[in-house]
Amino acid sequence: QVQLVESGGGLVQPGGSLRLSCVASGRFFSINAMGWYRQAPGKQRELVAVITRGGSPNYADSVKGRFTIARDNAQNTVYLQMNSLKPEDTAVYYCNADILFLPLSPTVPYWGQGTQVTVSS
């Protein structure tokens, strides 16, 4: 069994910062891509940022220049540093990891339980 444990969500004022962390645990061969998704009220789920195992990031246009994704492969951890937060960033944020159980086999996606980020005055 694989579990993704998130931390760092909460309430912050506009312009503030927050850092989310997600740790993957269990028995597996390796983790390929990891990412963060979010779902806001009245909106569909969207990919916020994704990072390859080699450390190459991609960002949604709405967060470019404000958010930074990083990972620590030795600790099976992915981070999302969120700066200059806006009310429209308010959403439930979900951690995602593509788990490789055996070499040369397909990856299996796993999801965290989600953490609430609220940006409000």
Q: Check pLDDT > 90 for residue 89.
A: yes
In the block, residue with structure tokens 């930074």: 68
Residue 7: per-residue pLDDT: 96
Mean pLDDT value across the chain: 97
pLDDT band for position 1 (cuts 50, 70, 90): confident
Q: Cβ distance 102 to 9 under 8 Å? A: no
Q: Which residues of 8-17 are buried (b: 16+ CB within 10 A; e: fewer)?
A: bbeebeeeee
Read off the pLDDT of residues 104-120 as tens digits, 9 standing for 90 and up. 999 999 999 999 999 99
What is the average pLDDT across 44-63? Answer: 97
Residue 96: per-residue pLDDT: 98
Residue 83: per-residue pLDDT: 98
Q: Could you count the other beta carbons within 10 Å of the beta carbon of residue 65?
A: 9
What is the average pLDDT across 25-35? Answer: 97
8/20 Cα distance (integer angstroms): 4
pLDDT band for position 9 (cuts 50, 70, 90): very high
Residue 113: per-residue pLDDT: 96
